[in-house]
Structure 1
Amino acid sequence: MRDAQERAVPVLVDADQDVIIAAATAAGKTEAAFLPILTNLLNDYDPPGSVLYISPLKALINDQWDRLGRLCEQLEIPVVAWHGDISSSKKHRFLKSPEGVLLITPESLEALFVNRGSSLAGVFQNLRYIVVDELHAFIGSERGKQLQSLMHRVELVAGRRLPRIGLSATLGNMSLAKEFLRSADAGGVTVIKSENSGQTLQVQVRGYIQPPMSELKKLLIQSADEQSEEDETENKASPDFAIADHLYKVLRGSNNLIFPNSRQQVEWYADQLRRRCEKDGVPNEFWPHHGSLSKDLREQAEHALKAGGQAASAICTTTLELGIDIGSIKTVVQIGAPPSVASLRQRLGRSGRRPGENAILRVYCKESPLKDSSSLSDQLRQSLVQTIAMVRLLLGGWFEPPRTQGLHASTLVQQCLSVIAQCGGATAADLWKHLVAEAAFQNVEKPDFLKLLKSLGEHELIVQDSSGLLLPGTVGERLINHYEFYSAFISDEEFRLVCDGKALGSVPISRPLTKDQRIIFGGRRWQVRDVDLQAKVIIVAPARGGAPPLFDGLGAMVHDNVRKEMRAVLADPNPCPFIDRDAQALLDEAKKTFNALGLGERYLIESGGRCYLISWLGDYANDALRLLLNHVGFSCDNAGLAIEIEADIQRTLAALKDVGELDANDLDSILADVENMLREKWDWALPESLLMKSFASISLDISTAIEFAQTHAATYTNPNEMMPRALIGD
């Protein structure tokens, strides 16, 4: 046995404690949990017991169904998968005789509570374990809040405390996982962390110069069938073609995962790599995999990777990040800056699984050519430096902890309606006790909860009868009976950008959005004129300003520690050992700008009547800083590393002083201009005060922003220093 498997036996076999098993992908977590759990089930209990296994993905359930099915077949322990593709006859068989292992998603478990609430006592009476796979994927999300609430409700129905088993990738702070698994008794959760590392990482970061966005867009839209010889020559200006050539050269003949940062790029690279196979007259080895593809097309890619007879590489989004078994992977490729260190680590867990094999990471970074008008973010080579910082943090064993402070009041709305449906009605006291006071939503205060119930009544989601019992209202009844009710989350919806009646395209907007804010799209700066939340439309007009940075301001949220490490990268006089010559030249350019601007000692730079604030804070704090500066009357934009402020240094310092005096709890005024607070599924039903608290807790770090303003407005000593105009594009 592996170390985690050996250590799991004594703590799991008696079903008397909560346990987290933390190990890398393919380190045997499933066996570590289920060998002692199945041993327990085989003991002579009458009636036989059962296990509730909760997974974030239907595909992972199918994978584990096959895996556990083979293990349990000779033990004569039933293994039942429960999701939309499973026949109702198999589900009824389990409900009639609930024994063995039930594999289910949170959404299907929610449906059981809503539709079979009266019969669940019999279903869960002999339950011995609750197992949560990919625990880290739930922490800090609305779906995670739903899961916490469901685990508590399962125990209420069973009438006793049940051992909860979490299977997880190693988290930087395991106390967060313990608090998530059993918030009322985190100290009683046993953690088994695999010590089997022994894996060597081989990494290379390659640098490329990106042509202007208008030229790149033209090149990417062209199909290879339409390209003339002249076009082929022009294509050499685009790094994407050079990256595709290099991928084809180094990956052919082995199994690999390639992660671009968008579905559009997945399709483009899959097409380019397939064309190279056709051109050489060899079988295609490259398959796209993302959420918009049909189930059949996704399974083609998965089967190609698993089959083993022929080499296969998947060009994919986050769909292949979690633990679906796809066999042994030689190389993990990241195109562009990784979304996070945690994501990079999760992806890298797929590589080097065989004994003696190294894990291989290849990263391809694209940067813009520098001009006199180049933005500060481009001059500091933001994408490349962020990538280097993330790899350094990965090598040092750090990765982002989940953000657990979110109220996720939207999910509380769903859980209130679900409990009312399950029980045929509930009192306000019941809901408070079983969902808030003793369960997942303990950060919601009683006055806010009472306002929430009043708001649910105003929206006709609930009604109260003469006895005080809360029942589904007209709207609530309709929504509870719709299949979409069971999911607590919705994907970030895309907004259409429209200028003078002409559609520019669509983008997912997950950051705070205010009128007059400037955003970057299609290689241009645009100013927000109006936002129509119902129609999901943003009306924009061309904005003045220099060339926009390559950074678009709409990507993944960057953590404070990543920005601090970026500063350390730029201040480090030594060459970086894992980047190629072109990347090193780009990094040297960034270091030259960093030193010329004195960014090791200062955080404010003035040029052309505009001030650049480089806080080295993450995006949650920087987004809050931008909103707070707007709130005290200053127009500014968040461009990643720098917040660009329409003011000189003296006025910026005065603004920071005003920000430092704000009350972080005065959300009514701070968030007054935010247009897109309706972020989660049931936010529309929340009272305004609770909506603001929930939005701020999920999307912003207001306290850190105010603390930064207090500290730096008081200590800045060179307000009159000016930098040469040529250093920063106007």
Structure 2
Amino acid sequence: MTKKELLHIAESYFETQGWKAFPFQKQTWDAFLSGKNGLLNAPTGSGKTYALWVGIVLSYIKSNPDYKTKNKKGLKAIWITPLRSLSQEIAQTSQKFVDGIGLPFTVGIRSGDTTTKERAAQKKAMPDLLITTPESLHLLLATKDHVNVFKDCNAIIIDEWHELLGTKRGVQMELGLSRLSGINKNLRIWGISATIGNLEQARQVLLGVDSYRYDNSVLIKANLKKEIEVRSIIPETMEKFPWRGHLGLHLLEDVVKIINESKSTLIFTNTRAQCELWFQALMHKHPEFAGEVAMHHGSINKETRIWVENAIRNESLKACICTSSLDLGVDFAPVETIIQVGSPKGVARFLQRAGRSGHRPGVTSVIYFLPTHALELIEASALQVAVKTQAVEDRLPYLNCYDVLIQYLCTLAVSGGFYPDHIYPEVKATFCYQELTYEEFEWCLHFIVYGSASLESYDEYKKVSIDEDGRYFINDRGIAMRHRLQMGTIVTGTSITVKYATGGYIGSIEEYFISQLSRGDVFVFAGRTLEFVRLKGMVAQVRNSSKKKAKVTSWMGSRMPLTSQLGELLREEMQHFQSGKKRTPEVKALKDIINRQQQESIVPQNHEFLIETFKTREGYHSVFYPFEGRLVHMAMAGLLAYRMSLLQPISFTLAYNDYGFEILSDQEFDMQNVLDNNLITSDMILEDLEASVNATELAKRKFRDIAVISGLVFTGYPNKAVKVKHLQSSSQLLFEVFRDNEPDNLLYRQAYTETYEQEIEEYRLREAFERIENQTIVWKACKQPTPFSFPIITDRLREKLSSEKLADRIKRMQIKWE
């Protein structure tokens, strides 16, 4: 069959649906038929599934012209998705196409939600297309006959590659691809990515360092002009001293107005706690929305999530309050309006969420930005610039993740065993492990067989055996089961199941939150007000409560630092707000705050670095404004406080937000002395970081995750999970053993590398210092706190006071200083 005849099959199907194929879809079909690998860059909702799936099907038809009567059984293609909620949509689209052209293909899903019955059926007969997650793919690689399962699989698609890149799940995926390529040399690898800055590098990481595969690949860009309209929700009155206290809830009625004017609305919050809070506030003030407004986040049970997704799809919901669980989410063609509550902290995340509105090619996306405090309106303005210029962040890939490699080697050992000389070249061909030496690889092998040098006396760390042929294998059923239970790279706090005392599953909450509750305490979760009855094993038993006051459930994984891209845009945007050249609604709304800031201090220009000092009854405040994000400020504050203490013995209290940080002392400090001694410098940064930031404590916390991923500690059986404090103490003990006896242990070294790269963001800290060295430092000795410093001060008070006391205290401070 000629290429023209093959393309005619697809185009005819599109015509029957009343569609016309986009140029990028035709390009992808053509590239696939030419035997190429590649990366497709296309926005959400533009027809990416058809671009790749049609290519796979046409390639199969090319080799099997009698496809309507003869179909060879077995797995032909794998579709990897990082989110389970995407699976249903891809399955429906894929099945619809093959049914439409008369190809007897089956499409199956395999994820954590797949039933045991479905898994058993798949074991007997694999579907032609398997839609799965990185974790489920590795579970399949851990089966004895995985070579037979994958030998005829000719294509693998990694969807939302930008979400996996720069994470350990992405590294896990790289290793999975290396094994599948080893099984079938003709495997075609394709990725799909929406919003990402470093597309060329993303393709390199996906395809690995095999020059033949990379040379035989293409990067296809959809080039679909997607109009995005950003509208700020501006309060009628602006406090001259803004603070991040009410999470934007004072703008609730503006949100209600938008909901009522739209057919359907998604309200994105940055955290699950914020999501719960908004849902409660909306239900409390507007009970008429009951049944029309829902909530969606990752801790709510599967049945509720699926019900919400379907309700949005069939337009029976007016609004849904959600977290990043619907960032990529489901194909919601009908969603009309998006509201973003608070800064999304990154351009890519904002564009992704905006794309959920008008989720069809050619339709304008409308996104409302709701500030949680006044200064976030400057971020709204910066995001509008980012949307116009498509200034999207890079996702930096990981290198040499020894913990993921150790887990992978155990997976291969469980699956019937492996020979190191076969596996090392495959691993070395990945981007992550391209610099892995054979000595390091041998260290990992030694580790899975004997434990590391300091653990060789303990049998529990000896997992893998070696036979006389040199094959590494796991035969012990107990070890194999524990390994399968703990596979994956997402390490979270231990989850506690939440159930009614009378029965009925509600969802899951992290153990650390439940541990703070006493019998009779009331908390808000999954849109319900619940009273805590008792903790039985790993199940929190609750009953409904009618009390008005309740704690809002909080989660540990809700820290979102400002990206460097948005920080840069923010600094540039500051200039426009000061000059008054811009006449946007945001500039007008912030006019009084900006005037007050200029009256008390200055609004820093791009070439200026602002330091403010003032005295209150709390003590002597020094506030610095790098606009680099919370993580960088945390490290910078500690570093600077340490350097200042070398000049004068003094103790400090530190506070920070995304715009700046505060160093507070009960003694007066000479800022001129700091400037004369050139303390704001990138010199000696690593040495001073080690002395100032408690890197050892941070590394211990990192090591817990590394210990879990590498299998050094076991997290427990289903419904019998090991408590977080026990995990922490086990991993801490191992950390100290390695520190004292084996400082060259690769996992111990990795903990420090990850601490500096991810927790402290040392590279960004260095860049920030280098930028400040080239700026003019402006020190303003102020009479009182300024509008810019106020949110930082109030964030420090938040740690000490309840929300009611905090609001009262801030009100008094605002009145006094205004």
Distance in 1 of aligned mates of 2:517 and 2:89: 48
| Aligned partners of 2:248 and 2:342 also within 8 Å | no
Distance in 1 of aligned mates of 2:750 and 2:323: 34
Letter in 1 for 2:765: A
Partner SS for 2:165? coil
Letter in 1 for 2:339: V
Give how far 1:298 is off: 1.4
Give how far 1:50 is off: 0.4
Letter in 1 for 2:333: G
CA gap 1:580/1:421 in 2 versus in 1, 3 angstroms: same
Cα deviation digits, residues 528-547 of structure 1 (max 9, x gap) = xxxxxxxxxxxxxxxxxxxx
Matched, 1:484 2:485: yes
Letter in 1 for 2:682: G
Distance in 1 of aligned mates of 2:345 and 2:604: 28
Matched, 1:616 2:638: no
Distance in 1 of aligned mates of 2:630 and 2:435: 24
Partner SS for 2:366? strand
Cα deviation digits, residues 581-629 of structure 1 (max 9, x gap) = 6455555555666626778523434444543332333455444434544
Give how far 1:333 is off: 0.2
| Aligned partners of 1:553 and 1:638 also within 8 Å | no
Give how far 1:259 is off: 0.9
Distance in 2 of aligned mates of 1:278 and 1:359: 29
The TM-score, its normalising length taken from structure 2, stands at 0.69
Letter in 1 for 2:22: R
Matched, 1:649 2:650: no
CA gap 1:443/1:333 in 2 versus in 1, 3 angstroms: farther
Match of 2:92 among 66, 71, 78: 66
Percent of residue pairs identical: 18
Cα deviation digits, residues 536-586 of structure 1 (max 9, x gap) = xxxxxxxxxxxxxxxx99731212232222222222123452538645555
Specify the alignment match of 1:103 in structure 2: 131
Distance in 2 of aligned mates of 1:78 and 1:245: 49
Cα deviation digits, residues 263-311 of structure 1 (max 9, x gap) = 23323333443456544xx774211111121112112221211113x45
Specify the alignment match of 2:58 in structure 1: 39
Distance in 1 of aligned mates of 2:601 and 2:389: 24
Cα deviation digits, residues 478-527 of structure 1 (max 9, x gap) = 37535532221123676959999999x9xxxxxxxxxxxxxxxxxxxxxx
Specify the alignment match of 1:80 in structure 2: 108
CA gap 1:384/1:447 in 2 versus in 1, 3 angstroms: farther
Distance in 2 of aligned mates of 1:450 and 1:666: 35
Specify the alignment match of 1:292 in structure 2: 299
Specify the alignment match of 1:263 in structure 2: 272
Match of 2:219 among 163, 172, 191: 191
Letter in 1 for 2:304: L
Specify the alignment match of 1:302 in structure 2: 309
Partner SS for 1:314? strand
Specify the alignment match of 2:804 in structure 1: none
Match of 1:163 among 188, 191, 196: 188
Listed as ranges, the matches of 1:143-542 within 5 Å are 143-158=169-184, 160-184=185-209, 185=211, 186=214, 188-197=216-225, 199-207=227-235, 240=248, 242-252=250-260, 253-274=262-283, 278-279=287-288, 284-308=291-315, 310-353=316-359, 357-367=363-373, 382-405=375-398, 407-424=400-417, 426-427=419-420, 432-436=424-428, 438=430, 440-444=432-436, 457-458=451-452, 460=461, 462=463, 465=466, 470=472, 478=479, 481=482, 483-491=484-492
Listed as ranges, the matches of 1:628-639 within 5 Å are 628-629=639-640, 634=645, 636-639=654-657
Specify the alignment match of 2:45 in structure 1: 26
Distance in 1 of aligned mates of 2:370 and 2:305: 25
Give how far 1:38 is off: 0.9
CA gap 1:501/1:274 in 2 versus in 1, 3 angstroms: closer
Partner SS for 2:370? strand
Unaligned residue ranges in structure 1 (runs of 5+): 218-237, 368-380, 506-551
CA gap 1:155/1:577 in 2 versus in 1, 3 angstroms: same
CA gap 1:483/1:420 in 2 versus in 1, 3 angstroms: closer
| Aligned partners of 1:51 and 1:130 also within 8 Å | yes
| Aligned partners of 1:208 and 1:366 also within 8 Å | no
Listed as ranges, the matches of 1:631-710 within 5 Å are 634=645, 636-645=654-663, 648-653=670-675, 657=679, 660-662=682-684, 664=686, 673-677=695-699, 678-679=701-702, 681-683=705-707, 685=712, 687-706=747-766, 708-709=768-769
| Aligned partners of 1:82 and 1:108 also within 8 Å | yes
Partner SS for 2:187? coil
Partner SS for 1:43? helix
CA gap 1:83/1:466 in 2 versus in 1, 3 angstroms: closer
| Aligned partners of 2:597 and 2:603 also within 8 Å | no
| Aligned partners of 2:637 and 2:662 also within 8 Å | no
Specify the alignment match of 1:234 in structure 2: none
Give how far 1:8 is off: 1.5
Matched, 1:140 2:166: yes
The TM-score, its normalising length taken from structure 1, stands at 0.76
Distance in 1 of aligned mates of 2:565 and 2:281: 36
Give how far 1:426 is off: 4.7
Give how far 1:216 is off: 10
Task: Tell me which moved more, 597-606 or 294-303.
Answer: 597-606
Letter in 2 for 1:324: V
| Aligned partners of 1:408 and 1:698 also within 8 Å | no
Letter in 2 for 1:21: L
Cα deviation digits, residues 322-378 of structure 1 (max 9, x gap) = 1412232111001111132111110111112357643211111132xxxxxxxxxxx
CA gap 1:723/1:589 in 2 versus in 1, 3 angstroms: closer
CA gap 1:408/1:625 in 2 versus in 1, 3 angstroms: farther
Distance in 1 of aligned mates of 2:465 and 2:678: 49
CA gap 1:336/1:500 in 2 versus in 1, 3 angstroms: closer
Partner SS for 2:40? strand
CA gap 1:20/1:91 in 2 versus in 1, 3 angstroms: same
CA gap 1:483/1:578 in 2 versus in 1, 3 angstroms: farther
The root-mean-square deviation of aligned C-alpha atoms, in Å, is 4.1
Task: Tell me which moved more, 462-471 or 559-568.
Answer: 462-471
CA gap 1:323/1:262 in 2 versus in 1, 3 angstroms: closer
| Aligned partners of 2:639 and 2:688 also within 8 Å | no
| Aligned partners of 1:331 and 1:361 also within 8 Å | yes
Partner SS for 1:33? helix
CA gap 1:500/1:183 in 2 versus in 1, 3 angstroms: closer
Match of 1:556 among 560, 572, 576: 560
CA gap 1:431/1:241 in 2 versus in 1, 3 angstroms: same
Give how far 1:87 is off: 4.8
Residues paired across the two proteins, number: 639
Letter in 1 for 2:151: Q
Letter in 1 for 2:38: V
Give how far 1:642 is off: 1.9
Give how far 1:661 is off: 3.1
CA gap 1:582/1:11 in 2 versus in 1, 3 angstroms: same
Give how far 1:464 is off: 5.8
CA gap 1:660/1:274 in 2 versus in 1, 3 angstroms: closer
| Aligned partners of 1:140 and 1:403 also within 8 Å | yes
Specify the alignment match of 1:540 in structure 2: none
